[in-house]
């Protein structure tokens, strides 16, 4: 409570008001700028957002005893700063430079995935997605699943709301979004009722939240054992040829590495590279070392250095994400910290739940969910990110667990 009060009190009213107005104005213009791939249209508005964000960061830094960028990170994942993240990201960049070409080579030596042929009626997708969320553990007496332009999770622990979007020519988007958002919703539902409406009863930050969505989506749902159960259900729902729904094909379809310019479409091996780029750029902007005018070129150069690809235009480059244009700086590291924590938590859970894969092969997530209820959900914010990991796994964030997971999945390597 003291921490929340300190953050709120550090910002003068006129600055909060100015930020709200600037963020709203910039975000609206960004929508058109992204559509038209016209960075110049939004550049002055982003410059104003950045100016006010730096002013806010300085005020928060003084109150919290942190650097300005760390003060922004603190608003999304308390207890983790840039000096904690930078070496973790540098080590991952080194890992990726070797692992990605090997994964691409392994992929090239095996058949390309067969894509199921539609159409896939929206009504059938809706029924399947609801059944799947319920099987994963979502209690629809306290939850809703609806449709939106972009998937999200929200609500309160006693009334969680998740959404997805449906495409009649591809059911993948809807299913994977529902599984991801269900992970978020399960975390909210598992927060301790005794601490309801108190700061200590809230989720322990966005990196922790991402770990809970990704342990469900990436670690459990995309495992061989779960996909083996899912395939026949997909075929039963949509019909057609059975081959696209076989385990080996679903694995190649939903666990495929590919260098791309778009973060939200990236696979789990290349996704951290997109986050690393944004972390470095926003840190430089907050420090005053990178101007808004130089952002597009810095973005393109940085992505090429990390993945060897260059966006064809700014819509697929520095305009693709809403975060900065809405004033959200310091958020991006949470995505990859969450992925790494998810791998570490799954490693620990498997060590004490010997029948995990057998349960997954029945479409049953309950053994994993019960473990998470004790070690993550029920803890809420009594401990910080690293302390939760240390109590659950015996060590603070260990990026090697994530690397081991990727080697097993994409290189079929045994540690």
Catalytic residue ranges: 181
For residue 245, how far is the Cα from the chain centroid? Answer: 26
Contacts of 195 (CB under 8 A, 6+ apart): 201, 380
Query: What is the spatial distance between Cα 326 and Cα 29, in angstroms, rounded to a whole number?
Result: 10
**Burial track 314-327 (b if 16+ CB lie within 10 A, e otherwise):** bbbbbbbbeebbbb
Residues making up the chain, counted from first to last? 415
Contacts of 68 (CB under 8 A, 6+ apart): 54, 57, 58, 60, 61, 286, 287
Contacts of 64 (CB under 8 A, 6+ apart): 6, 7, 10, 71, 74
φ/ψ bin of 121: left (φ > 0), alpha (ψ from -120 to 50), beta (otherwise): beta
Under 8 Å between Cβ of 266 and 100 = no
Query: What is the spatial distance between Cα 151 and Cα 128, in angstroms, rounded to a whole number?
Result: 16
Q: Bridge partners of 155?
A: 160
Cα angle vertex 164, ends 159, 167, to 5°? 160
Under 8 Å between Cβ of 320 and 34 = yes
Query: What is the spatial distance between Cα 304 and Cα 392, in angstroms, rounded to a whole number?
Result: 37
> Scanning the structure block, which residue is given the tokens 């951290």?
272
Instruction: Determine how many CB atoms are found less than 10 A away from the CB of residue 157.
Output: 22
Alpha-carbon distances of 157 from 205, 214, 373, rounded to whole Å: 15, 19, 13
């Amino acid at each position: 409570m003291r921490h929340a009060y300190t953050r709120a009190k550090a910002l003068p009213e006129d600055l909060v008001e100015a930020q709200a107005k600037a963020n709203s104005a910039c975000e609206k213009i960004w929508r058109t700028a992204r559509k038209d791939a016209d960075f110049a249209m939004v550049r002055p508005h982003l410059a104003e957002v950045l100016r006010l964000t730096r002013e806010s960061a300085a005020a928060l830094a003084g109150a919290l005893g942190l650097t300005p960028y760390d003060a922004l990170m603190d608003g999304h994942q308390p207890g983790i700063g840039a000096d904690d993240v930078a070496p973790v990201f540098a080590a991952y960049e080194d890992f990726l430079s070797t692992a990605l070409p090997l994964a691409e080579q392994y992929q090239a030596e095996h058949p390309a995935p067969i894509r199921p042929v539609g159409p896939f009626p929206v009504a059938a997708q809706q029924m399947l997605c609801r059944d799947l969320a319920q099987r994963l553990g979502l209690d629809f007496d306290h939850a809703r699943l609806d449709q939106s332009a972009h998937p999200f999770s929200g609500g309160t622990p006693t009334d969680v709301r998740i959404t997805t979007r449906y495409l009649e020519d591809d059911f993948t988007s809807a299913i994977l979004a529902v599984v991801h958002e269900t992970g978020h919703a399960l975390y909210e539902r598992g927060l301790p009722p005794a601490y309801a409406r108190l700061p200590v009863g809230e989720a322990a930050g966005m990196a922790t939240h991402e770990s809970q969505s990704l342990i469900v989506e990436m670690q459990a749902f995309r495992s061989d054992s779960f996909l083996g159960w899912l395939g026949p259900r997909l075929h039963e729902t949509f019909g057609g040829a059975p081959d696209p729904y076989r385990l080996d094909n679903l694995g190649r379809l939903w666990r495929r590495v590919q260098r791309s310019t778009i973060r939200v479409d990236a696979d789990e091996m290349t996704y951290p590279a997109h986050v690393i780029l944004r972390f470095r750029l926003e840190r430089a902007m907050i420090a005053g070392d990178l101007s808004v005018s130089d952002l597009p070129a810095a973005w393109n150069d940085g992505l090429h250095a990390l993945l060897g690809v260059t966006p064809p235009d700014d819509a697929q480059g520095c305009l693709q994400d809403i975060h900065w244009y809405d004033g959200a700086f310091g958020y991006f590291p949470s995505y990859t910290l969450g992925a790494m924590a998810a791998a570490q938590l799954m490693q620990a859970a498997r060590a004490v739940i010997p029948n995990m894969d057998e349960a997954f092969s029945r479409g049953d997530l309950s053994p994993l969910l019960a473990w998470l209820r004790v070690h993550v959900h029920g803890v809420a914010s009594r401990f910080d990110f690293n302390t939760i990991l240390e109590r659950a796994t015996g060590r603070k964030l260990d990026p090697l667990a994530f690397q081991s997971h990727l080697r097993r999945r994409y290189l079929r390597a045994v540690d």
